[in-house]
């Protein structure tokens, strides 16, 4: 806290306000250690920078990640105009490819497959991984996929990512992610996936090293009538398109394995103190379902069948580390 009459640097003042969340100008002055006039000047600058809302001496806040998402959307308005041409090409691509495949002679240097009806993403994964396992998979998700769409064992998928080192990235539409708890919202997403949020996610899409998968109707968020095109030059072009969005997207707060440690480490540390899974989950802000899922994932990883054996195996592994 600064001394009265000594204005705070703007970033330091913002940090103090975000920690204490004062509601009124007077409260803000006390948090900042400034006079009311100095506080009003500081708040006016923060409002100009769109860090907070200040009306009738009442302050309003938004989380840094939401502000970042909003700012990205504003700054990308011009980028969006340029991407419209790209999307116009993509919008016609699936149907043209489908027509082309109907008259194909079999001598083309690419493979086209049409998957009719609702398609669980697990089936798409199976087709990708059994043919030639990719080193990177990139996905657009305007809406977050539910368990019914996934159609696969999330724990097994997480273990596969860990063992293979597959680079899996997904950009989720900000409207779908707004205000949701990451642990619940992304329950159908394998831990180890790199997740970001962006306001301009044009359609569901998956692209690997060699294959592009898109809906027959570009712009759809669900997995219905998919077109798979195995053609590396097209995949590289679509990966470049994905990377344009990825570089501007905001990482999902509260998601992932901190410091590269397995997601179950904090949970198991609490269990070693004699705390139940449910209580440990609550302490970490996890739902009972998420806590149990992490325990199952850890048991599979260490090849044990009981929680007692899991604790012993984890302690041995931790001692080695």
pLDDT in tens, 53-94: 898 888 888 766 566 656 655 555 555 555 566 666 666 666
Report helix, strand or coil for 220.
coil
pLDDT band per the 50, 70, 90 thresholds, residue 1: very low
The per-residue pLDDT for 83 is: 57
Q: Does residue 17 have a pLDDT over 60?
A: yes
Q: How far out from the chain centre does Cα 217 lie?
A: 24
Report helix, strand or coil for 288.
helix
Check if 10-61 and 259-320 are the same fold: yes
Q: How far apart are CA 282 and CA 295, in angstroms?
A: 14
Which positions ≥6 away from 53 have C-beta within 8 Å?
47, 59, 60, 61, 62
Instruction: Looking at the structure, give the CATH architecture of the domain made up of residues 259-320.
Output: Orthogonal Bundle (1.10)
Q: How far apart are CA 41 and CA 54, in angstroms?
A: 12
The per-residue pLDDT for 40 is: 92
Q: Does residue 113 have a pLDDT over 70?
A: yes
Report helix, strand or coil for 107.
coil
Supply the pTM of this predicted model. Answer: 0.51
Count how many residues are written for the chain: 321
Q: Report the relative pairing of strands 194-198 and 250-251 from DSSP bridges.
A: antiparallel
Instruction: Looking at the structure, give the CATH architecture of the domain made up of residues 70-251.
Output: 2-Layer Sandwich (3.30)
Contact between residue 209 and residue 231 where contact means Cβ atoms under 8 Å apart: no
Q: How far apart are CA 20 and CA 127, in angstroms?
A: 51
Q: Which of 91-100, 164-173, 231-240 has the lowest mean pLDDT?
A: 91-100
Q: Does residue 251 have a pLDDT over 50?
A: yes
Classify 203 in phi/psi space as left (phi over 0), alpha (psi -120 to 50) or beta: beta
Question: What are the beta bridge partners of residue 195?
Answer: 170
At the topology level, CATH places domain 10-61 in Arc Repressor Mutant, subunit A (1.10.10)
Q: Which of 4-18, 170-184, 248-262, 271-285 has the lowest mean pLDDT?
A: 248-262
Contact between residue 21 and residue 60 where contact means Cβ atoms under 8 Å apart: no
Q: Does residue 48 have a pLDDT over 70?
A: yes
- pLDDT tens digits, 126-147: 766 666 677 788 989 888 765 4
Q: How far apart are CA 269 and CA 255, in angstroms?
A: 19
Domain boundaries, the chain: 10-61, 70-251, 259-320
Tell me how far CA of residue 219 lies from CA of 73, 74, 136, in angstroms. Answer: 18, 21, 23
- pLDDT tens digits, 198-221: 888 888 899 988 888 888 888 888
């Amino acid at each position: 806290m600064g001394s009265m009459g000594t204005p705070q640097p703007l970033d330091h003042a913002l940090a103090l306000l975000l920690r204490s969340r004062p509601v009124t100008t007077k409260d803000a002055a006390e948090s900042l250690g400034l006079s009311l006039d100095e506080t009003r000047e500081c708040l006016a600058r923060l409002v100009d920078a769109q860090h907070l809302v200040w009306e009738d001496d009442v302050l309003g806040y938004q989380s840094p990640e939401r502000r970042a998402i909003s700012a990205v959307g504003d700054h990308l308005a011009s980028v969006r105009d340029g991407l419209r041409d790209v999307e116009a090409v993509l919008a016609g691509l699936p149907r043209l490819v489908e027509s082309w495949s109907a008259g194909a002679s079999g001598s083309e240097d690419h493979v086209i497959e049409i998957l009719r009806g609702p398609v669980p993403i697990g089936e798409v994964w199976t087709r990708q991984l059994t043919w030639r396992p990719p080193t990177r998979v990139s996905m657009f998700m305007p809406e977050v996929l539910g368990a019914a769409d996934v159609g696969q064992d999330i724990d097994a998928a997480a273990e596969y990512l860990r063992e293979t080192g597959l680079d899996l990235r997904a950009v989720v539409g900000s409207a779908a992610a707004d205000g949701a708890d990451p642990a619940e919202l992304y329950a159908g997403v394998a831990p180890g996936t790199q997740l970001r949020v962006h306001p301009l996610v044009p359609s569901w899409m998956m692209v690997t090293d060699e294959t592009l998968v898109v809906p027959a109707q570009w712009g759809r968020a669900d997995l219905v009538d998919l077109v798979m095109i195995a053609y590396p030059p097209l995949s590289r072009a679509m990966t470049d398109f994905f990377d344009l969005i990825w570089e501007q997207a905001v990482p999902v707060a509260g998601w992932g394995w901190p410091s590269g440690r397995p997601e179950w480490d904090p949970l198991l540390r609490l269990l070693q103190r004699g705390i139940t899974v449910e209580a440990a989950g609550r302490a970490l802000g996890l739902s009972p379902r998420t806590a149990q899922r992490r325990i199952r994932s850890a048991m599979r990883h260490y090849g044990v069948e009981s929680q007692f054996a899991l604790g012993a195996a984890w302690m041995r592994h931790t001692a080695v580390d």
